[in-house]
Amino acid sequence: MADMLQQIDQKVAAIYEVVVGGITSGPLVQRVEKLESACFSGSGAGLIVSSAAIAAVISSTNFVTGVSGWRINKSGDAEFQDVIVRGDITADSGFFSGTVYVGATNNRIIIDGVNKLLKSENYSAGVSGWQIDGLGNAEFQNVVVRGTLQSTVFSYNEVNAIGGRQFVVQAAGTLRSDVTTATSPTTFNVDIKDPDSGHVQLFAASDILRITDAGTTNFVTVSSVSDQTTFYRYVCTKNDGTNTTFRAGTGVLNYGTSGDGYILMDAQAATGPHISVATHAGSPWSTVTERVRIGNLNGWGAFVTDVFGFALGDFAGASYMYFDPATSNTRIVNGAGSVILDKGGIKLIQGGSSVNQIRWVNVSDETLSYVRQGSVKSGSILTSTLAAGESPLVDGVDSTLALTNVAVTQLSPTISSTFTLSLANSGTDRFSSLGGVSITSTEADTQKIFQYWRRNTNWGNLFMTGVRIGTGASDAIPAAGSLQLLNGVAVDEFSTDGTLAGDSDTALPTEKAVKTYVNTKSAFAAHKNGTDQTGIVTATATKVTATTELFDKNGDYDAANSRHTPLIAGYYLYTGTVRFESAVDQTIMIVMVYKNGAEIKRGAVRASGTANHQPMVSTIIEMNGSTDYVEFYVLQDSGSDKTITGTSTVTHIQGALLARS
């Protein structure tokens, strides 16, 4: 063994002398030269090593950092010119200063480290592909968002569009994590992401939530709420729908509690497009009451085909009103009584039957009026003028009628002033050769049916020069008179008031009055016309001045005072957005809606960096139509004065009437 170790030591010493000592000839030198040639010149099969340890660095002979060659040191750091990796690359972090191509050769994804871009290889601005830059700007062909999409302004070539349907509800959020629903009474957690505006509770106990994803909908009720510091957790039970797992990012709508509701703009349904205002009584998955429908009326009330108009009220409760432009028919219904305004005139119906009606009709240049099965009060007078060859007929259709204790004057020939008259629809008993007739009854609440029969027709026509109901001396309805059907209230006025301000059960609006009422709207939009608003003092609510009107539909926006005082009582949608210039990082910028000098709603944004930032606010407010007014205010906590941009496209306010109260 000692001899072997001595021989090895001699061989190593000889190699050392050749490599280090400078020996340049001899058999050993030739062997070393061949070894070097095989390992480094590329002329041989190379150096085959089963395993080896590097004490410091292994590198190519031409290695220059950042210039040429390659190197691997013992710490694991390496530098190469090009690398082909046939398997996976796994790393905790890294930096690319140049361009990285991901995918096959055609239409690859490009990571551009120099210009800080992530894009498809076929990207062409406004034409094809997609791109995201380092500032957060992006361009895509189509985008599917499963959660909440938040933005101050959506615009594309000045055309704004929303596909499908849009709900306006009390609140909405997105799932922070997947949620699997369970059959009641089993509860489950619904975790909601905090909105960008900050940590805030969106829902309350007893609120009914709707979750929809991939065509599956569940309604759930919130039983309790807990603050998880970075989000809120809502413990819920399922009311309706199939147990399923909803993915993180899915939208959650708050339907509120019984009596609350929503506004729906729907262009997706087979009965669209339309706008609906609806409420629910605690079970919105099965029953909602549609209070207002504008657009396609198919599916509202008795409408089963596409008809475009408007409807409001409670159809199931028989208290509603609608306008059907297909038939030019406006109908007002309250219980068993109704009023219909159509091309033929005005029809008052009691009991749901078209037989029980009072109707005024324009027929060319003649005025046709008749009363059928209506109650005409004692002391009434009807006067008519008939054309030659025409005869009046009492009860020519509806069986026998007795007129009792009727004083008759102006008849030719003269008839006794007190008589009992019974006429059948056989037509054998008729007044004839009359130039006019006046009948006065002294018996209270005597029921009369008057119909004038026109020769050679199946239906009688009554040609009137005047109608008086009551005991006055004129041919008009006196102040104390009224018109009443068999049932329902008495009517004493056909009103032309297009505001319907009287709110009366005894006045009927004309068709023109109803149309005026429907067409009278309140809406405005205003901006600063390019004038910046400076001096927005820190921590102080400051009124937004918008002195240039884009439009003012009802003339109720005061541009000089930047104040909206609507003249129509109802529910109004107000929105506003302002742009703060040169923000202070992490400070809050707020825009608020004030009603009668007090804050109602606010929208806020926290600055990220020092660029311009743009909060917005949106709310629905009930206004009394006389003294209530709305203004917009801003608030910021930067510690110094700020400026609001005056550009009309980024700083503007607007409001519009949604529904009358």
Condensed to tens digits (0 to 9), the pLDDT of residues 550-564 reads: 999 999 999 999 999
Could you tell me which of 155, 117, 158 has the C-alpha nearest to residue 136?
A: 117
User: CB burial class (10 A; 0-12, 13-18, 19+) of residue 506?
Assistant: middle
Go through 27-47 and write b for each residue having 16 or more CB atoms within 10 A of its CB, e for each that does not: eeeeeeeeeeeeeeeeeeeee
CA atoms of 406 and 462, how far apart (whole Å) = 20
Q: Over 90: is that where the pLDDT of 635 sits? A: yes
Separation of first and last alpha carbons in the chain: 112
Mean pLDDT of 317-339: 80
The amino acid at 20:
V
Lowest-confidence segment of 210-219, 222-231, 429-438 by average pLDDT? 429-438
Q: Label residue 9 by pLDDT band (50, 70, 90).
A: low
List the Cα angle 636/637/641 in 5-degree steps.
70
Q: Which has the minimum average pLDDT: 85-94, 377-386, 486-495?
A: 377-386
Q: What is the pLDDT of residue 360?
A: 47
Question: What is the mean pLDDT of the segment spanning 597-610?
Answer: 94
Confidence of residue 443 (pLDDT cuts 50, 70, 90): very low
Which residues are 384's β-sheet partners? 437, 464
Residue 336 pLDDT: 75
Query: Between the CA atoms of 307, 308, 309 and 310, what dihedral angle is there, to the nearest 10 degrees?
Result: 90
- Estimate the crossing angle of helix 2-16 against helix 27-36, to 10 degrees: 70
pLDDT category, 113, cuts 50, 70, 90? confident
Is 289 exposed, middle or buried, given 0-12, 13-18 or 19+ CB atoms closer than 10 A? middle
Total Cβ atoms within 10 A of residue 194: 18
- In this structure, the dihedral spanned by the alpha carbons of residues 162, 165, 171 and 175, taken in order and rounded to 10 degrees, is -90
pLDDT above 90 as % of the chain: 38
What pLDDT was estimated at residue 325? 75
Q: How far apart are CA 505 and CA 512, in angstroms?
A: 18
The mean-pLDDT minimum among 31-40, 398-407, 499-508, 636-645 falls in 398-407
Query: Which of 232-236, 289-293, 393-397 is least confident?
Result: 393-397
Q: How confident is residue 278, by pLDDT bands cut at 50, 70 and 90?
A: very high
Shortest CA distance to 325 belongs to which of 297, 302, 357?
Answer: 297
Residue 382 has pLDDT above 70, yes or no: no
CB-hemisphere CA count at 13 Å for 263? 12
DSSP 428-477: -S---S-S-EEEEE-STT----EEPPPTT-SS---BEEEEE-SS-SSSS-
What count of Cα atoms within 13 Å lies in the side-chain half-sphere of residue 111? 9
Lowest pLDDT segment from 88-92, 170-174, 426-430, 612-616: 426-430
Cβ atoms within 10 Å, residue 420: 9
Mean pLDDT of 527-539: 95
Q: Residue 590 burial by CB count (10 A; 0-12/13-18/19+): exposed, middle or buried?
A: buried
Q: How many residues does the chain have?
A: 661
Please, is 333 exposed, middle or buried when counting C-beta atoms within 10 Å of its C-beta (0-12, 13-18, 19+)? buried
pLDDT at 82: 84
For residue 184, give every residue at least 6 positions away whose Cβ sits within 8 Å of its Cβ, in sequence order, or none: 237, 238, 239
Contacts of 635 (CB under 8 A, 6+ apart): 539, 540, 541, 542, 588, 589, 590, 592, 602
Among the CATH numbers 2.60.120.40, 3.30.2230.10, 3.40.50.720, 3.40.430.10, which is that of 523-660?
2.60.120.40
Instruction: Give the domain 165-257 fold.
Output: Thrombin, subunit H (2.40.10)
Position 111 scores a pLDDT of 87
User: Which helix (DSSP H) or strand (DSSP E) does residue 289 occupy?
Assistant: strand 288-296
Band the pLDDT of 394: cuts 50, 70, 90.
very low
Query: Do the strands 507-509 and 493-495 form a parallel or antiparallel pair, or are they unpaired?
Result: parallel
Does residue 473 surpass a pLDDT of 50? no
User: Does residue 171 or residue 21 have the better pLDDT?
Assistant: 171
Helix (H) or strand (E) holding 106: none
Instruction: Provide the pLDDT for residue 28.
Output: 61
pLDDT at 208 exceeding the cut of 90: yes
> Which one-letter amino acid corresponds to residue 344?
G
> For residue 469, what pLDDT is reported?
41
Number of C-alpha atoms within 13 angstroms, CB side, residue 577?
A: 16
Sign of the C-alpha dihedral computed for residues 261, 264, 270 and 271 taken in this order: positive
Residue 563 near residue 633, CB atoms below 8 Å:
no
Q: Structural domain boundaries of the chain?
A: 98-143, 165-257, 263-326, 359-485, 489-519, 523-660
Q: Is residue 627 predicted with pLDDT exceeding 70?
A: yes
Residue 418 φ then ψ, to 5°? -125, 120
**What mean pLDDT do residues 482-489 have?**
66
Name the H helices within 311-368: none
Q: Are 167 and 263 in contact (CB under 8 A)?
A: yes
Residue 7 identity: Q
The CA distances from residue 316 to 288, 334, 340, in Å, are 11, 11, 18
CA distances from 440 to 351, 379, 444, 476, 538 (A): 28, 5, 11, 15, 81
pLDDT of the residue at 11: 66
- Choose among 643, 615, 617, 642: nearest CA to 631: 617
Mean pLDDT of 63-86: 87
- Lowest-pLDDT range of 5-9, 186-190, 455-459, 536-540: 455-459
In the predicted structure, residue 418 carries a pLDDT above the cut 80 = no
Winning range, highest mean pLDDT, from 385-399, 450-464, 484-498? 484-498
Phi, psi of 36 (to 5 degrees): -65, -40
What integer best gives the mean pLDDT of the chain?
76
What SS3 class is residue 33?
helix
Per-residue 3-state assignment (H helix, E strand, C coil) for 454-466: CCCCCCCCCEEEE
Q: Are 79 and 71 in contact (CB under 8 A)?
A: yes
Which pTM was predicted?
0.37
pLDDT at residue 206 is higher than 70: yes
Residue 407, pLDDT above cutoff 70:
no
| Beta-carbon count within 10 A of 4 CB | 8
Q: How many helices and strands, by DSSP H and E, does the chain display?
A: 3, 50
Q: Report, in angstroms and rounded to the nearest whole number, the Rg of the chain calculated over CA atoms.
A: 44
Q: HSE-up of 545 (CA within 13 Å, CB side)?
A: 14
Burial (0-12, 13-18, 19+ Cβ within 10 Å), 20: exposed
Tell whether the model's pLDDT for residue 581 goes beyond 60: yes
The pLDDT of residue 630 is above 60: yes
Average pLDDT over residues 429-452: 33
How far apart CA 6 and CA 144 sit, in angstroms, is 79
Instruction: Confirm whether 165-257 and 523-660 share one CATH topology.
Output: no
Q: Tens of pLDDT along 499-521? A: 777 888 888 888 888 888 888 88
251-256/245-246 β-pairing: unpaired
CB 451 within 8 A of CB 372: yes
